[in-house]
Amino acid sequence: MSAHYLAGKPVLVTGGAGFIGSQLVSDLLAIGAEVVVIDNESRGSKSNLEDVNFGIRDNKNYFKVDLRDPDAQRYFKDIHTVYHLAADVGGIAYALSQGIQIWKNNTLIDANVFEAVLKHQVPNLVYASSSCVYPLNLSSPDRALQESHAWQGEMHTLYGGEKLLGEKAIRMHLQGSHPTNTAVVRFHNVYGPRSIMKGRNAQVIQALISRALNHPSKNLEVWGSGQQGRDFIHVSDITHWLVNLWLPTTNSLPQDPIQRGSGINTQIREIAQHIINILELNIEIDFLPVPDEGERGRKSDNSKFDALYPHLPQPLPIQEGIRRYIDWVLEHETFWKEKISEASNRAAFPCLTR
């Protein structure tokens, strides 16, 4: 078998100690890349990297550095490919309440990274964008979002607006600026191992699993009718794609922004029911009234992805993805366990007692 394109190459993952970043580091190590990580540990942690067997050598392959600092640009020297994942990230409540801070942080990070890539003539830059670039009025449970829908309406959050400007900056100032090749990849809602599960920064699948594990005999509380939906995709589907981003026909990166989702709008009530079933809990779902349920649903049109990457596997079905995630979570109690918890008794989970 021929070696992977990135085998033996110095590859920098910004935000590599985070949720998606640590899984990407793991996948890059598996194909023989020489991985370097920059992270300020504001949300990520070294333990994520230890969990994927990244042999951390402080100040050699791991740098605890703030990418808002212009001095961070020196770490981009002699790098072959940058996967730029570092960003101020959180759930929708965080994005709506902390818009200015997120916008400021992510603008500073992106501008600094793009300047560093240009200055050091890094050959390849992959930019992690988001389905939050799509306008709210085009989101629907029934109509699939296409890549071209970005810019076609009012932005929902400054987080999404900043990602869109990041994409624009790449198109205007980096794309085609030899020798840098660029790719803009938009993820829908990613879930899976090592994502934050507790506190207001947790995203919905993570938060529901944590709640079910910490309070296994209490009904599972869902905000609103539970009919709100999103397009959920398992982290392994994202990172497997990122490592295999170069198009097999031309060996180049895709020219235009491209999204990755499951193509399915899954309602929160379905997620909650999968979790209850997988954990074999004898509880029900309580729907708590909220004044405004926000976005009704969202799903990705995968036709562009399928045309460019017919050789990559179809996304994991949500039930299987959640099952695998829960298996991992049960092995990693520090991620979900609250200090005083009913869950200290493992017998609370029938699925664990066999």
Ligand X SMILES: NC(=O)c1ccc[n+]([C@@H]2O[C@H](COP(=O)([O-])OP(=O)(O)OC[C@H]3O[C@@H](n4cnc5c(N)ncnc54)[C@H](O)[C@@H]3O)[C@@H](O)[C@H]2O)c1
- Which one of residues 66, 293, 295, 338 is an interface residue with ligand X (CB under 6 A)? 66
Torsion angle, alpha carbons of 265, 266, 268, 269, to 10: 130
Q: Does 230 bind ligand X (CB under 6 A)?
A: no
Q: Does 321 bind ligand X (CB under 6 A)?
A: no
Please give the backbone phi and psi of residue 117, each rounded to the nearest 5 degrees, phi first. Answer: -65, -45
Q: Does 98 bind ligand X (CB under 6 A)?
A: no
Nearer to ligand X, 85 or 281 (CB): 85
Alpha-carbon distance of 149 to 34, in angstroms, equals 37
Nearer to ligand X, 87 or 117 (CB): 87
Provide the minimum distance between the beta carbon of 201 and ligand X in the complex, in angstroms, as a whole number: 8
Q: Among residues 1, 153, 14, which one has the least CA distance to residue 83?
A: 14
Taking CA atoms, 144 is separated from 206, 230, 264, in Å, by 24, 11, 9
Q: Among residues 159, 202, 247, which one has the least CA distance to residue 19?
A: 202
Nearer to ligand X, 33 or 128 (CB): 128
Q: Does 67 bind ligand X (CB under 6 A)?
A: yes
Q: Is the peptide bond before 313 cis (omega within 30 degrees of 0)?
A: no
Q: Does 189 bind ligand X (CB under 6 A)?
A: yes
| Total of residues contacting ligand X (CB under 6 A) | 27
Region of 86-94, 296-304, 315-323, 333-341 interacting with ligand X (CB under 6 A): 86-94
Residue 224 host element (H or E)? none
Using an 8 Å Cβ cutoff, are 290 and 223 in contact?
A: yes
Q: Does 17 bind ligand X (CB under 6 A)?
A: yes
- Which one of residues 89, 113, 204, 268 is an interface residue with ligand X (CB under 6 A)? 89
Provide the minimum distance between the beta carbon of 22 and ligand X in the complex, in angstroms, as a whole number: 8
Q: Does 161 bind ligand X (CB under 6 A)?
A: no
Q: Does 259 bind ligand X (CB under 6 A)?
A: no
Nearer to ligand X, 86 or 276 (CB): 86
Say whether 335 sits in a helix, a strand or coil: helix
- Which one of residues 37, 85, 243, 268 is an interface residue with ligand X (CB under 6 A)? 85
Nearer to ligand X, 82 or 190 (CB): 190
Nearer to ligand X, 66 or 293 (CB): 66
Say whether 330 sits in a helix, a strand or coil: helix
For 277, other C-beta atoms within 10 Å of its C-beta total 13
Pairing mode of beta strands 81-84, 124-130: parallel
Terminal C-alpha separation, the chain: 41
Torsion angle, alpha carbons of 228, 230, 236, 237, to 10: 150
Q: Does 107 bind ligand X (CB under 6 A)?
A: no
What residues pair up with 34 in beta bridges, in sequence order? 10
Region of 49-57, 80-88, 135-143, 310-318 interacting with ligand X (CB under 6 A): 80-88
- Which one of residues 11, 122, 125, 190 is an interface residue with ligand X (CB under 6 A)? 190
Q: Does 208 bind ligand X (CB under 6 A)?
A: no
Identify residues 22-61 at the interface with ligand X (CB under 6 A). 38-44
Residue 91 host element (H or E)? none
Q: Does 295 bind ligand X (CB under 6 A)?
A: no
Nearer to ligand X, 216 or 315 (CB): 315
Q: Among residues 17, 202, 14, 198, which one has the least CA distance to residue 94?
A: 202
Alpha-carbon distance of 344 to 282, in angstroms, equals 17
Q: Does 6 bind ligand X (CB under 6 A)?
A: no
Using an 8 Å Cβ cutoff, are 114 and 173 in contact?
A: yes
Q: Does 18 bind ligand X (CB under 6 A)?
A: yes
Residues that bind ligand X (CB under 6 A): 15, 17-21, 38-44, 66-68, 85-89, 109, 128, 130, 187, 189-190
